[in-house]
Amino acid sequence: MKRMMFVLVSVVMVASMLLAGCAGGAGGNKTGTGPGGSIPFQSSGKSVTIAFSQEPDLVDALFSSMSYSAWVAQTTLVGLGTWDANKNLVPELATEIPTAANGGISADGLTITWHLKKGLKWSDGQPLTSADVKFTWQVLTDKGNAVYTRAGYDQITSIDTPDTTTAVLHFSKLYPPWQTLFTSGPNNQGNLQPMHILQGKTGLEKDPFIHWPTVASGPWVIASWVAGDHMTLWPNPNYWKGRPKLDQIQIKFVPDPETALAALKTGDVDFVPDFAESDVPTLTKLEPAIHTRVDGLGDFEHYLFNMGVKGTDTGQSDYDGFCPFKDVNVRKAIILGIDRQTIYNTLLFGTTPVIANLWPNSNWTNTKETPYPYDPKQAESLLDTAGYKAGADGIRVGKCNGVDTKLSFNFETTTKQLRQDVATAVQGMLKQIGVEFKPNFVPAGTFFGNYAAGADMATGKYDMAGYTTGFYPDPYTDNFLCSSVISKQNQGGDNNYHICDPALDKLFAAVNASADPAVRKTAIDAVQQYLYDNALVIPMYARANVMAYQDRLILPPTSGLGGMLGDTFDWNVKK
Amino acid sequence: MWTYVSRRLIQALFILFIITAVCFLLTHFSADPMSQYANRQGMTAADRAAIAHSLGLDQPLPIQYFKWLGLALHGNLGDSFFSRQPVLLLISQRLPLTLELMGTAEVFIILISLILGTVSAVKQYSALDNVITSFSFIGYSMPIFFIAFGLMQIFAVQFKAWGLPYLPTGADIWDTADIIELARHMVLPVTCLVIIQVAGYSRFLRSSLLEVLGLDYIRTARAKGLSERVTLYKHALRNAILPFITIVGLDIPFLLGGALVTESIFAWPGMGRLFWEYAQRGDFPVVNGVLLLTSSAVVFFTIIVDVLYTFVDPRIRLS
Amino acid sequence: MTNQVNAENSIPALKAESTVTFEPLSPSQLVWRRFRKHRMALVGTIGIIVLVIFIVIGSIIVPESAANNSDLHNRLQAPMATHIFGTDSTGRDVFNRIIYGGQISLMIGLLAVVLEVSIGTVIGGMAAFYGGWVDAILMRFTEAMLSIPSLFLLIVLAKFLGHDIPTITILGRTFSGSVGIVIIVIGLTSWMYLARIVRSNMLSLREMDYISAARSLGASNGRIFFTHLVPNTLGIIVVSATLGLASAILTEAYVSFLGLGVQPPTATWGNMMEQAQSFMTQGAWWMWVFPSSFIVMVILSVNLMGDGLRDAFDPHSSRHA
C-alpha cells in the first residue's frame, strides 16, 4: 500500500521533470546570423524589455484582430507609407505619397501610382519589389484566405507592375480612403507580404509564416517566441533606414497590468504600453524613476441611445427603442445632466479633455464645436417641456405615444472597472434630474456578440449602451447608415444605434463623394454638427494610450497611429 | 474483476461522449467568437461573414459537433480560432509547466498532509494538535487570492524593500530549463496551493485515523504487545489511508486543469490561464480540447481509484 | 440485633430511588449535549450569531441608499471618522457596503445550500432507494458533472442565464439579477459531493441489521426509506449543509473575484474584492482587507460550527467529551 503510493508519487515527479526538460529552451542561436537574417544580440548591446498583458495570437496584421498582434506585426512587416506624429501619411517603403500634383493620382481619381524606393530587400536578402505589392493584393482578395478585412482592396480591379519599383492601382470606383491601403496603421492595416515565401499557397491563416513571420521588411525580425512567456526581436540588417539604435527588444507576456506595474517597479521591465487611464495617479507618483506618457487617441467612449423603429423595411429593427429617446429634448437633457468634467477630473485624471464629437484627436475634428456643458437646470426644464414630471419616488413620468412612461431605463456595458465607475457616477448624477439610469454590466464576449448570438446591442433589445470605437485614420464610417441597421433581414450590419435618418445618410454620402481632402473636411464637419445638434450620441471621453517606462529609455514623440511599437526604430537608452 | 473493469471502461466512453456533447453545447453558449471582430473599423459585414465561414460557425451546431468529434477521435483537436495553431500544440506548450507546478505542489501536499494528519491524530488534544488544527481551519477558510496576495506582498515586495533576499513576483521566467530559477519562481505559488490543500487533507486524514484508532482491533493489537509504531503504521494508517487515497486520487486529474487564480496572480503560463483567456474570447476548439482532456482524466482516474480500492479492501468486490 | 442490616429498612430507600424516572435522551438532545462540549464549535456558532446580528442591525440603522451613494469627490479615502472603513473607487462608504454586502453574500450562501442540498439529497436518495440501473445512471451523471470543471460551468451558466434578468425587485429592494444567477450556478455545481455521500451512507445503512429486521417484519421499501434511512442520514446532510454554506460563500467570493458573479452596483463581499483588486497597487488596502476579513470570519465560524456538528452527530467518534 505504502509502496504503491510511493511509486505513484515518484511517477508523477519523474514525469513532470521529463516534461519540463522537453519544454524549455529558447530558439535561435547566439552566433552568426540570427533567424530570418537578423543580427544576433551580444551581451554588450542595448536591450529593452516590454510587458504585454496579452499574448499575440498570430503576428501578421492581415489575419489578426488583436491590437497586440498588430503592434508587433508592424515592426517587422511594413507598408508603403506610415503615419507621423502629426497624423499625416508619410512614405515608408515608397519614395513619396501619391498626389494629384506629382501625377500619383489620376484626374478621375481611379488610378493611383506608387513608386517604391530603389534597392529594397527583405531581411533574408531577397529583393522587395512591386510584385510584392500585387501579391499582397492577391492574398487579401483570395477567398480561400480568412483575412481580417478586404474592405477597399476589393475595389481594386487590377494592379500593373511596369517595373520592379512601380505599382499602378486601378479602382472600379472612387475610394477616398485609399491612404489606408498597403500602409501601416491602426486597425491592423495592410502590410506587404513576401511573394517569394507565400506564393502559390492558400488558406494562409494556417501557414506558419503568418503565425510567426520569418523574414522582415521593417526594422525588427522576430528571433524567438516562447509561447505563453516571451518574444525576442533582433534588428533587420536590410531595413532601408538602417539599423535601429537598440540591439534587442524582448516582449514579456504577463497576465494583467498589475503584474506589469510590479515588474516595472522592480526594474524587470522597461516599458509597459497598455495601462488604463485610472492608473495615471499611481504611475505619476513613481517619477522620476519611471516616466508616464499619455497620448490622446482617436478612439472614444460613447453612450448611445437605442433609436430603433420596429418594422421589416430597410433601416428598421426588430424592436422599438425606448420611446422617450425619440424626443430630442430628452436626449439633450440627459447629456446636459451628466457632469463629464468631474468624471474626467476624478476618474480619468485629466488624461483627456471633454470632447464634443466623435472625431477627437484628429485632423478631421470640427473645431467650431464646444461640448455640451453640465447644466442640470437646463436639463430639468427641457424635461419639463417634454412633458415629464417628477413622480412620488422622484423619477419623472410622462406620456410617450399616449402611454404613461417612466424615465427609467437600462444601461448596458462591459465589466471593465473604469466603465463601472463612470456608469455608477452617471447613475447618481441623472438621479438628481429625475432620471433613473440602471447600469447592467455584462462580460465583453456577451456584450459584443452578434445578432445570431442574441446580443442586446445587435438585436436592439437595449435602452442605452456604452462602448469604445473610433473612426480613424479615415473619417468615413457606415455605422450610422440606414442600410447598416441590424435586424433579422440584415444580420451582418454595423449600426448598433439602430438609427435610420435619411438626412444623416446624405451627409455621410457627401464625405465619400470626392477624394479632395478639403471637400471631405467640409462634409465631415457637417456630419459632426448634425450629430451634435440632434444629440444622437453622447461622446463621453476620448481614450488615451497610457504608457510608462524606465528613465533609462528615451522615446521619440509619436502619433499613436503607428501602434505602440511604431517608432521602436528610434528608441534609445541612456548610457 | 476484468468484467467489472471493462464494463466501467465502456461506460466511461459513453459518459465521455455525453460530456463532450454537453460541453460543446455549453461552450457554444458561453461566448461569441465573432465578438472579437465587433465594432472594428475597416471590417465590413462581408468580411465578418467570410471569417465566420472559415471558422465553420455558419454550419448547424450538430454538424459542427460531429466534425469536431470525428477529428478528435483521430487525435486531432482542431485549430484555435484566433491563432490558427493546432490545439494539441497549444496544450503541449502549456501542459508541462502546469504539471511542474501542480505536480510539485501535490507531492508536498501529500507528504505534509500525511505527517500533520498523523501527528495530529496520534497526539490528539495536545498543544501541537491544537496548533495544527487551528492553522488548518484558518487555511481552509481563506480564499486563495487572499493568501496569494498576502504572501506576495510579504515575500516579494516587502522583503525586497527591506533589503532581504526576495522571491520574484513571477514575471520573468526566461529559460524554463534552468531548474534553480524555476524553483525560485515556484516557491510562492506552490506554498499557496499547499496551504489551502493541506488544511483540508490533514484534517480529513486526522478524523479518518482517529476513527480507526478507536476501533477494537487496534486495542487488540496493543493488547498483543505490539509497539505503538507498528500498531500505527502497520495497522491503523494502512486502513485510514484508504479514504485519503480516494480523495487525493479523485483530485489528481484536476491538476491537469491547473489553478487559474494562482496562475494569474503569479503570472505562471499554465493550463488554467490558457483555458480562461481562450474561453473568454470564445476560442471553442481550445476550450473543447482542454475540457476533453480534463474530463477524460477525471473519468479514467475515477475508474483507477475504484479498481485500486477493490484490490485494497477485500470487502468491496463489487458484483 | 441492632447491628444486623435491616434489609426491610433499606428497601424503602431503594424504592424511593426507583420511583425517580430516567427519561432516555432523544437523539437531538444527545447531539446538542455533545455539541455543547465542543468549545471551538461554540465559538464558531457565537461568531456567526454576532455577525448576523451586526448585519441585521446594520441594515436597520443604515439605509440601502447609503451603501450605493457615490460621491466622486471623496473617492478612495482611507478609513477616517466619517467613513470608518474608508471609501471605494466611486466614493461609496465601505462600512455600509460591508453590511449590505454581507446580507447578499449570506443570502446567496444560504439559498445556494438549500438548492444544493435539495438536489443532492434527491439524487443520492433516489440512487440508493431504487438501486440497479437507476443508480448506475444517476451516479454516472454525477460523475459526469464532477468531471466538468466548475469554473467552466460558471462561465457558461453566467453567460447563458446572464442577460435575460436585469434587475429583480423584492420587498422594495432592487437586486441585480445576477444574484439569482449566482445562487443557481453555485447550487448546480456543488450538489455532487452531497449526492455521493447521501447515497453511500444510505447504502451502508441498508445493510444494517435493524433494516433487515424491519424488512422481515414486513416493512415496505418506502417505509424503510422514509422512516429509517432518511432520518439517519439527516445528520450527514446537516453537516454537509453547514460546511456547504462555508463553501458557497467562498465560491461566491471566488466567482465574483473573477468577475462572473454578482455585478455592481449590488454589493457582495466577493465583488468588493474584485473591485479592490484594481486599486491594490494604488495602496487602497482598506478596499480588500475589510471584505476579505469578513469573508474569513464567516467561513471560519461556519466551518467550526460544522466541525462541531459532525462530531456531535457521529456516535462513533472517539472524542470522549
Per residue in A290-341, pLDDT (tens digit) is 999 888 888 899 999 999 999 988 889 999 999 999 999 999 999 999 999 9
B19/C147 touch (CB, cutoff 8 Å), yes or no:
yes
Give every CB contact of residue B29 below 8 A, 6+ residues apart in sequence: C156, C159, C160
Between A527 and A26, the more confident residue is: A527
Residue type for B210, please?
Answer: L
Residue ranges of chain C whose CB lies within 8 Å of a chain B CB: 40, 136, 140, 143-144, 146-149, 151-153, 155-156, 159-160, 246, 250, 253-254, 257-258, 273, 277, 280, 288, 292, 295-296, 299-300, 303-304, 307, 316-319
Which residues lie below 8 Å from residue A502, measured CB to CB, with a gap of 6+?
A482
CB atoms closer than 10 angstroms to residue B159? 14
Cβ-defined contact of C143 to B144 (cutoff 8 Å)? no
Cβ-based contacts of C70 with chain A (< 8 Å)? 424-425, 427-428
Q: State the average pLDDT over residues B117-146.
A: 82
Give residue C319's pLDDT band: very low, low, confident or very high (50, 70, 90): very low
Which set of grid coordinates corresponds to residue C231? 432520518
| B30, B48, B269: residue with CB nearest A229 | B269
Mean pLDDT of A363-383: 92
Q: How confident is the model at residue A219 (pLDDT cuts 50, 70, 90)?
A: very high
> So what's the pLDDT on residue B168?
63
In chain A, % of residues over pLDDT 90: 42
Decide if pLDDT at B211 tops 70: yes
Q: Pick the residue with more confidence: B167 or A231? A: A231
> Which residue of chain C comes nearest to B255, CA vs CA?
C149
For CA atoms A198, A204, A207, A210, the dihedral sign is positive
Cα–Cα separations (whole angstroms), residue A419 to A426, C101, C239: 10, 21, 42
pLDDT beyond 50 at B147: yes
Q: Name C73's Cβ contacts closer than 8 Å, sequence gap at least 6.
A: A342, A346, C91
Contact at 8 Å (CB) between A218 and A74?
A: yes
DSSP letters of B29-94? HH--GGGGGTT-TT--HHHHHHHHHHTTTTS-HHHHHHHHHHHHHTT---B-TTT--BHHHHHHHH
| Pick among C48, C150, C156, C273 to test the B interface (most B CBs inside 10 A) | C156
Between B39, B96, B107, which is nearest A22 by CB?
B96
CA atoms of B160 and A263, how far apart (whole Å): 13
For residue A556, cis peptide bond before it (omega within 30 degrees of 0):
no
pLDDT digits 0-9 by tens, C221-235: 777 777 777 777 787
Whether the pLDDT of residue B316 is over 80: the answer is: no
In chain A, residues with a C-beta closer than 8 Å to the C-beta of C89 are 417, 421
Kindly calculate the radius of gyration of chain A based on its CA atoms and give it in whole angstroms.
Answer: 26
Q: What is the mean pLDDT of residues C100-107?
A: 88
Give the 3-state secondary structure of residue A396: strand
Between residues B141 and A462, the one the model is more confident about: A462
Q: Which of A101-105, A390-394, B107-111, C79-83 has the lowest mean pLDDT?
A: C79-83
Residues of chain C neighbouring B298 (CB-CB closer than 8 A) = 143, 146-147
Confidence of residue A516 (pLDDT cuts 50, 70, 90): confident
B319 pLDDT higher than 70: no
Residue B88 has pLDDT above 70, yes or no: yes
Write down the pLDDT at residue A166. Answer: 93
A492–B45 C-beta distance less than 8 A: yes
The CA-atom distances, in angstroms, between A47 and each of A291, B181, C119 are: 18, 21, 59
Ranking A21-25, B188-192, C271-275 by mean pLDDT, the lowest is A21-25
Instruction: Please give the pLDDT value at position B127.
Output: 83
Return the minimum-mean-pLDDT range out of B68-77, B179-188, C19-28, C158-167.
C158-167
Question: Which region among A171-185, A245-259, A399-413, B34-48 has the lowest average model confidence (pLDDT)?
Answer: B34-48
Give the total residue count for chain A.
575
- How far is residue A411's CA from residue C291's CA, in Å, rounded to a whole number? 27
Q: Does B103 touch chain C (CB under 8 A)?
A: no
pLDDT of residue A393: 84
**Sequential DSSP letters for C167-205:** EEEETTEEEETHHHHHHHHHHHHHHHHHHHHHHHHHHHH
pLDDT the model gives residue A376: 93
- pLDDT at residue B314 tops 70: no
Nearest CA in chain C to A416: C259
Q: Is the peptide bond before A237 cis (omega within 30 degrees of 0)?
A: no
Q: What is the pLDDT of residue C276?
A: 78
A121, three cell numbers = 530587400
pLDDT at A402 > cutoff 60: yes
Contact A16 B104 (CB under 8 A): yes
Across the interface, whether the CB atoms of A261 and C90 are under 8 A apart is answered no
Beta-sheet pairing, A47-52 with A248-253:
parallel
Set of cell numbers at residue C201:
451512507
Interface test with C, best of B144, B146, B301 (most C CBs within 10 A): B146
Quick check: A278 and C259 CB within 8 A? no
Which residues on A lie below 8 Å from C72 (Cβ)?
A: 342-343, 346-347, 425
Q: Helices B271-280 and B284-312: crossing angle, nearest 10°?
A: 140
Q: Is the pLDDT of residue C77 over 90?
A: no
Contact across the interface for A438 and C167, Cβ inside 8 Å: yes
Are the Cβ atoms of C140 and B15 closer than 8 angstroms? yes
Calculate how close chain C gets to B239, using CA atoms only, in Å: 16
Three cell numbers, residue A110 = 481611379
pLDDT of residue A3: 54
CA nearest neighbour of A94 among A117, A73, A75, A127 = A117
Contact A424 C282 (CB under 8 A): no
Distance, in Å, from the CA atom of C316 to the CA atom of C319, rounded to the nearest integer, reads 9
Q: Is residue B8's pLDDT more than 90?
A: no
Q: How far apart are CA A571 and CA A396, in angstroms?
A: 57
- What is the model's pLDDT at position A18? 47
Asked if residue C320 has pLDDT above 80, the reply is no
Confidence of residue C158 (pLDDT cuts 50, 70, 90): low
Output the pLDDT for position A422: 92
Q: Residue A17: what pLDDT?
A: 46
What's residue B317's pLDDT? 55
Contacts of residues A329-332 at CB distance under 8 Å and 24 or more positions apart, as own/partner, are: A329/A382, A329/A383, A329/A385, A329/A386, A330/A382, A330/A383, A330/A386, A330/A388, A330/A407, A331/A305, A331/A534, A331/A535, A331/A536, A332/A372, A332/A379, A332/A382, A332/A535
Beta strands in A414-512 (DSSP E): 436-441, 464-470
Of residues A137 and A27, more confidently modeled: A137
pLDDT at residue C112 in the model = 92
pLDDT for res C317: 47
- Alpha-carbon Rg for chain B in angstroms: 24
Q: Measured between CB atoms, does C169 come within 8 Å of chain A?
A: no
Q: Is the pLDDT of residue C155 over 80?
A: no
Whole-angstrom distance, CA of residue C96 vs CA of residue B287: 40
pLDDT for C247 beyond 50 = yes
Give the number of C-alpha atoms closer than 13 A to the C-alpha of residue C174, restricted to the C-beta side: 15
Q: Which residue of B has its CA nearest to C143?
A: B299
User: Between the CA of residue A470 and those of A301, A476, A543, B167, C191, what are the distances in Å?
Assistant: 9, 10, 9, 43, 47
Confidence (pLDDT) at B165 = 66
CB pairs under 8 A between A and B: 205
Position A472 scores a pLDDT of 83
Out of B14, B22, B210, the one facing C318 most closely (by C-beta) is B210
Averaged pLDDT, A379-407: 90
DSSP classification of residue A117: P
Q: Which three cell numbers stand for residue C39?
A: 468549545
- Output the CA torsion sign for C157, C159, C161, C162: positive
What Rg do the C-alpha atoms of chain C give, in angstroms? 26
Which residues of B are less than 8 Å from A51 in CB distance?
A: 171
Question: Contact, B170 vs B268, CB < 8 A?
Answer: yes
d(CA C38, CA B153): 36
Q: What is the pLDDT of residue A23?
A: 39
3-state helix, strand, coil in chain A (%, to 5): 30, 20, 50
What's the burial of A533, exposed, middle or buried (CB within 10 Å: 0-12/13-18/19+)? Answer: exposed
User: Closest residue of A to B36, CA-based?
Assistant: A65
Whether pLDDT at C35 is above 60: yes
Neighbour subunits, A (≥3 Cβ pairs < 8 A): B, C
Report the pLDDT value the prediction gives residue C6, as an integer from 0 to 100. Answer: 47
Which partners does chain C have (≥3 C-beta pairs < 8 Å)?
A, B
**pLDDT score for B160:** 65
